[in-house]
Structure 1
Amino acid sequence: MSHFQYRVSHINLPRLYASSNAGMSNTHLANRQAFFRHRIIPRQLVDTNLRDTTTEIFGHRVSAPIGFAPIGINKIYHPSGEIAVAKVAGELNLPYCLSTAGSSPIEKVGKANGKGPRFYQLYMPHDDELTLSLLNRAWDSGFDALILTTDTWQLGWRHDDVANSNYAFYRGIGADLGLTDPVFQKRCREAGIDVEKDKVAASTKWIDSVWHGRAWSWEKIPWLIEQWKKISGGRPFVIKGIQSVADAKKCVEYGVDGIVVSNHAGRQVDGAIASLDALENIASAVGDKIYIMFDSGVRGGSDVAKALSLGARFVFVGRLWIWGLSIMGEEEVRHVMKSLLADFDILMAVGGINKVDEFDKSVLESYPKSYSMIPEKVL
C-alpha cells in the first residue's frame, strides 16, 4: 500500500473524502435540520409482536426499506473495497448499488453479492460505446435496475478535497471498474496508454471520460432508457438527484420508472434545499405516478421512518456504512447495517407500527421550516 493510500485510509477518513461537502456545508447542515422539524407520534396498545419490516422494490422482497447507496472508490477506505460491502448487502438481503466510480470490477462485485438484489448506478460516459459496455457488463453480472445519477457530471467545490488534493483517480487509485472495461481499454490503446504499466494516465483518462466536460440534457434520456430496456428486457430505469417538482414531473413525462430524491448528501450544490423538504414537495406532486426513493442525511432508524412517512417508498444510506468500512472493513459494515436494521425494527415495535406501508403523514407532527445560520458541525 502506498503512502497516499495509507494516509487516506487510516488517518484522514472519514474526516476527509467521505465527510467532505460542497462549499460551506450549508446543504449538508440543512439535510440534518430538516429531519429535526418532524416528530414521530407513537401509537400505544398496538400489538407489534408480529411486525414486518420487509418491503418490495422492483420485484425483490427485501429485509427492510433500506439499501446501500452507491459510493465510489471504496478501496480508499479499505483494501476489500466494494467486494466486502456487496457481500454484506447480500447476506442481509438489502439492495446494493454499485457506483460507476467503483474501485472493483463489476463482475467481481456481482459475484460477491451472491443472490442479493443489486442495482447499477451509472455516471454516463461521453462515449456511447463505453456506456453500452458498462450497461451490458452490469446486466450480465446480475444488476437488474439502472440508476442514472444526474447531479455529479462535475464534482462540487469541496474545500477539504481541494486543500488536500484528495482525488484518488489522479493518483492511479480506485478506477478498477473502468480500467477493466474492454471498450475503455481500447480507448487507452488508441491514446497510447498502457493500462497495466501506467495506471495514473489510465485513471486520469477514465475520470475525464466520464465526469468532466459534459453536462447531459433531457434529450439524452430516451436513448438511454431505450438501450437499457433492450439490454435488460425491460427492467427499471431510475434517475437519482431529483430535487425539484418540475424535474420529478419530467421524469414521469419521460417514462422513468423511479426517482431517488437526493442532493448527493450536500456534496454538490451548497446552499440548496434540504433533500427531505424536496421529498415532501415531490411526493405531494407525483407520489401516485412514480416510485419514489430517498437519500441524503439519513443517520438512524427514525430518519428512515420520517422519510417513509413523507412519501418515500425506499431509503438509501451511504455515509453510515462507508464510515464503518473505513474503520474495520467488512465486519464493521455488517455491524453498522445490522444496527440500523435493529434500530428501525425497534422503532416500529415501540412506535406502534406493524408494516412499512403504515408510515404516512399521520405518523408525524411537523413544524415550520426554521434553519439556523450558525455554522455548527452536524454529523
Structure 2
Amino acid sequence: MGFGVLKAEGNAVTNHEIREEMETMKKTMKIAAMVAGLAMVLSGVAFSAESIKVGHLADLTGPTGDVGKPYAEAVQDYKEYINAHGGINGKKIDMQMFDYAYNKDKAINQYKKYKEDKVVAIEGWGTGDTEALTGFVSVDKIPYISASYSAHLTDPKKAPYNFFAAADYTTALRAGLLYLKENWKEKRAPKIVFIYPNVPYGISPIKGGKEYAKELGFEVLSDENVDLKAIEANSQLLSVKNKGADFAWIGGTTNSTAVILKDAKKLGLKTKFFSNIWGIDESTPKLAGGAEEGALVMAGSARYGDKVPGMALLTSVQKTPQVTHYIRGWVSMMVLVEALKRADKATGGKITGPAVKDALESFRDFDTGGLAPGKITYTATDHRPFMSVNIMEFQKGKPVIKKTMTLPRKAEWLGL
C-alpha cells in the first residue's frame, strides 16, 4: 500500500512504524483540509461537499449563434457570480454548457446525458429543440427554462415543466401590432406582411399575430419566407414592395434581419419594419449599415447601462457593453437561481426537479431590478412571466425606448 520507505535492505517494517506513518499522513491531510477551508473563507466562499447539477444547452456556432452566444455567456456569467458569492446556501452550481449548434438531435442526445447526471433543471435555447424536449422534461420532471419564448410553452396543461423569462413571441407581436395601430393616422386599413424563416421559431407567433392583426383592422398580405442563413432577400423584398405593405414583421435573427433591411433600402421600400425579440439589437447598425434607421424591435429587456437598479450588478460583472440578449440571459439565470434557493429551503437541502418547479410557480411579482420590462409571476395554471414589452426604435444607430406596452393577461391567449 506504500505507507513509507523500508528502513534497510531485508528488514521488515514493524507495526509501530506503520502506525507512525499513518498518523503522519492523517496530520498532513488534516492540515491540507484546514488550509483549503481557510482559503475559501478568506475568499468569502465556503462550499459544502454537495453541488447542484444543472444543464445548459446553447447555440454558439449554429444558425442562431449570432444571438445565442451573448445569451449563453450571460447565463454562465451569472452562475459564476453566484458561485463566487456562496452559491446556493453554500452549494456550488455545477452547470456545464453544451453547444448543440441548433441541431435538435444533438440537443436531445445531450438532454439524455443530463438526465443520467441527475440535473434538477436545465437552461435551454431554441424553439425546435425546446418543443421537442417538452414531453421528455414533463415525464422526467426536470424544469426547463428556455430562450425560446414560444407561446406553446406557457400552458402548464401542455408544458408543465417549461418556463422562460420574457414575453412570449405572440404577446410581443401583438404588442407591436397594437403600437403601430395606435400610431396609424390614415383612414384606410394599414397593410402588413409577415416575413419569417420556415422553422418552428419563425412560425410560432404567426397564427396568433395574424388573428390579432385582423382584429385590429390590418389588411394581412401573403407571407414571405427568408431563411436564417440568407445572404440576400431581393425577390422577397421586391414582392413586399409590389404588395404595397405599410408594415412588415421580421421573425428572424440579427444576421438575416440585416439582410432584409439592406435589401429593402436598396429597393427603396417605404415599409416600416418591426422585428421579433432576436431580430434587431445593438449589433444591427454595423450589420445593416444604416438601413436599420426607423426599424422597431420588440425588446424583452432594458439596454446595457440603463439607469435601473439591477444594472449596477450586471455592469460590475460584465464591464464591456452588451446587447440586449445578454441581459435576458442574465435574467433567465437570475430566475433559476432564485428558484434553486427557494427549493433548497423548502426541501431542507434536498433539491429535486418538482421542488424547483414548485418554487418557480411560487413567483409573485419577482423583481429583476428593471432588467426585464415587467415583474415575473408564474402560477400552476399560467407560465407567462409577464405581458410587457419594450418597444425600441433605432435612431441614428442607437435603440431608443419608445414605449413599454403591457397587454392584458387574457385567458384565451394562453398558449397561442
Normalised TM-score (structure 2)? 0.29
Structure with more of its chain in helix, by fraction: 1
Bigger RCO (CA 8 Å, 6+ sep): 1
Task: Give the TM-score normalised by structure 1.
Answer: 0.31
